Amino acid sequence: MADESFENGTEAQDQGGRKYDPSAFLAEINGKSVTVKLNNGIVYKGNLQNVDGYMNIALEHTREVINGKPGKNYGDTFIRGNNVQYISAD
């Protein structure tokens, strides 16, 4: 694996301090149910269809959750990567 580092010089590491490649995790959860939290606190739950190198995310069957309460239901949703705080597998 090539030496991966972020723009600020830090490297992606797990809690044990080992280097890891998050693209393997994203490939593993592709097509599965995920939760995406945005920087503004809004949460989207849906089926992950695609993630690109900029963390732009495409979801299907998307549900919005605001302050823990169900919001709107969407079909296909595109989330711009710079708005994403985290993505997790359900």
CATH classification at residue 45: 2.30.30.100
Find all residues with CB under 8 Å of 30, minimum gap 6, and list them: 48, 49, 50, 51
Spatial separation of the C-alpha atoms in residues 60 and 63, rounded to whole Å: 9
When pLDDT is cut at 50, 70 and 90, the band that residue 23 belongs to is: confident
When pLDDT is cut at 50, 70 and 90, the band that residue 48 belongs to is: very high
Q: Which helix (H) or strand (E) holds 87?
A: strand 84-89
Q: Is residue 11 part of a domain?
A: no
pLDDT score recorded for residue 56: 96
pLDDT score recorded for residue 11: 63
pLDDT score recorded for residue 26: 87
Q: Is residue 43 part of a domain?
A: yes
Name the domain count of the chain: 1
Q: What is the pLDDT of residues 59-89, one digit of tens each?
A: 999 999 988 899 999 999 999 999 999 999 9
When pLDDT is cut at 50, 70 and 90, the band that residue 12 belongs to is: low
Q: Which domain holds residue 45?
A: 22-89
